[in-house]
Amino acid sequence: MTKFIRRLQRIGSSILVSLPKEWVVANNLDKSSEVEIEIGQDSLSISANKEVRPTKKLVISYPLPKEENIVADLTGAYLLGFDIIEINSKSIIPGKDREKIRNSMRRLVGMEIIEEDASHINMQFLLDATTLNPEKILKRMSSIAIGMYDDVSNGLISDDKSNLQSLSKRDVEVNRQYFLLVRLIRSTLVDKKLANAFNLENIDVLDYRVAANILENAGDSIVELSNFIYNSSLSKEYSEIIYNVIRNFNKLAEKSINAFTKPDRLLAIEAISLHKQYEEKLGLLRNTLGNKKQIPIDFLDIVYMFERITQSWADVADLVQPIYNK
């Protein structure tokens, strides 16, 4: 972002400031053009009054340099908000590379291949960003992860643990929603109209980015725990002891997300307090059984992983801005 310094001028009863010529030319503005002015407490922003956001296009020349990765490049372009991505090659794009590109598209919500031939692949983001909602996307991420948590909890006491092996596929959807949310909130930083449509300040955008990252990591941790439980030889007696403490966490998690999205600091305080009680129960459980001589190491590992996962939702609630005395 380029910064300009301008001196205010008085003409008649009006105070005027000139606009940078580079900005005027870049946005094709003229004497009769309209601009949009947004006023903050100690700031003022001027944007070109365009009904339609300009399409962002990226052309990738293929093959890539050896140090580059096509999947990483496509994901990066998606997160940066490019609407059209074209891959152009002077020769035929190999089949294995095409499959990598198609697989990467499955991870990116709204991005579809719209045109393809032997040496070209064109992709386009087909969703209207203004119809999306950061709050709903974050809640969807949390809902999927909570469902995974419930299944991994039930896997502790279930005789059939086959369901634990499918959780990684559901985590893929958490990641898809995460990428979409990151793309969306990054776009709000450069598109004031989009930020206004979502009613988000810059600090809110940052908090959504942090919250999304926390939930994405929680999904990964749940998959790690599910694999651990699936391969564990922990007895049913010890498994039931853990289960009786960690079950019914979903209500606490939902309260944390609701506190963040409203936002409601009092609800967040309630969620954080409930989580502390939850932690105390796990701590008491560990300390009580710790007096036994041959407590299985798997028991301690599983308790630790549940603590790490559930802390994620407490961290989201903790993002809600405190109430300060005025």
pLDDT band at 243 (very low <50, low <70, confident <90, very high): very high
Mean pLDDT for all residues in the chain: 87
- Dig out the tokens for 215 from the structure: 């939930």
pLDDT band at 244 (very low <50, low <70, confident <90, very high): very high
* Secondary structure of residue 114 in the 3-state scheme: strand
Evaluate if pTM is beyond 0.85: no
Give the model's pLDDT for residue 207: 94
* Secondary structure of residue 47 in the 3-state scheme: strand
Please count the residues of the chain: 326
Higher pLDDT, 38 or 254: 254
pLDDT band at 50 (very low <50, low <70, confident <90, very high): low
pLDDT band at 135 (very low <50, low <70, confident <90, very high): very high
264-288, pLDDT tens digit by residue? 999 999 999 999 999 999 888 877 7
Give the model's pLDDT for residue 40: 65
- For each of the domains in the chain, give its residue range(s) and CATH number, in order of start: 9-48 (no CATH), 57-125 (3.30.110), 132-317 (1.20.58.220)
Dist. CA 295–CA 308, nearest whole Å: 21
**pLDDT mean over 147-155:** 95
- Comparing CA positions, the residue from 27, 20, 47 lying closest to residue 196 is 47
184-230, pLDDT tens digit by residue? 988 888 777 777 778 888 788 889 999 999 999 999 999 999 999 99
Non-local CB neighbours of 293 within 8 Å, separated by 6+ positions: none
Burial 174-199 (b: 16+ CB within 10 A, else e): bebbbbbbbbbbebbeebebbbeebe
